[in-house]
Amino acid sequence: MRKQKGMTIIAVLVFAFLFLPLVIIVVTSFGQSSTIQFPIDGFSLEWYKKALSSETFMNSFKLSLSIGVGATLLALLVGVPTSYALSRYHMKSKQLFKNFFLSPTMIPGIVVGYSLFQYIVIKFNLPVIQALLIGHFLISLPYIIRVVGSSMEQLDFSIEEVAWTLGCTKTRAFMQVVLPNVSSGIFAAFMLAFVNSFNNVPVSMFLSGPGVTMLPTSLLSYIEYTYDPTVSAISVMIMVLTVFLMFIIEQTLGLASIA
């Protein structure tokens, strides 16, 4: 009984340690003071209005959205066929290929960002938008490979072979038989990769340029000079978006496992 009570206390403390800062951020985003104070001295939506009316933040939000969607779509174009090949065919070096595609998740983000900066920006001198698109494609691809690959490995490929015997070409069978059966995994992979791209800091920080910044980088730059509740308001909006997308991912994967 004492052991169970002790574990309960530890669980509550861990929960408080993890979520109390988030609660403080949410509360301070509605404060009236021009500085971040907790507890707040009054209720106000001023900081949300300021964030939504800021041209800098809106431009960086649109850029994060477009880069995230574009990079994730590119990752799907590469990752889905790759996942299919790794799951469908028996290769001696299959695990080596998997580790290669998943390697960006095994390396610290700051190292990945700096490496991409040296290679993409310094060596090839690519424009900022192209550099960001390539960088976010590379960090999105592992999530596509991992989630779609998991769905592919659970697929009974005999249904594809039946389609072949009925006269379907391999391309048509892949498009009309394989993809519909892993569509939930593909959607979940897209959402997960997009969330990772949208919230990424290291790659966005190293590959951004003058006047072209992603939302996390723009937020960090703002904090350097001004630390008012606008930061809390933007953080809350990012949290809400992330939680909403993760909820969709969880529901999608849950439906896929039931199917």
Is the per-residue pLDDT at 217 higher than 80? yes
Q: How far apart are CA 173 and CA 253, in angstroms?
A: 24
Residues 188-208 have a mean pLDDT of 86
151, 186 contact by CB (below 8 A) = yes
Question: Six-digit token pair at 93?
Answer: 């070096």
- What pLDDT, on a 0 to 100 scale, did the predictor assign at position 86? 83
Is the per-residue pLDDT at 258 higher than 50? no
User: Mean pLDDT lowest for which of 41-45, 104-108, 139-143?
Assistant: 104-108
- What pLDDT, on a 0 to 100 scale, did the predictor assign at position 1? 57
Strands (E), the chain: none
Q: Quick one: angle between helices 230-258 and 2-28, nearest 10?
A: 130
What residues contact residue 197 under an 8 Å CB cut-off, 6+ apart? 64, 67, 68, 71, 72, 136, 139, 140
Bridge partners (DSSP) listed for residue 212: 209
What residues contact residue 249 under an 8 Å CB cut-off, 6+ apart? 188, 191, 192, 195
Amino acid identity at 125 = N
- What pLDDT, on a 0 to 100 scale, did the predictor assign at position 2? 58
User: Comparing 168 with 97, which gets the higher pLDDT?
Assistant: 168
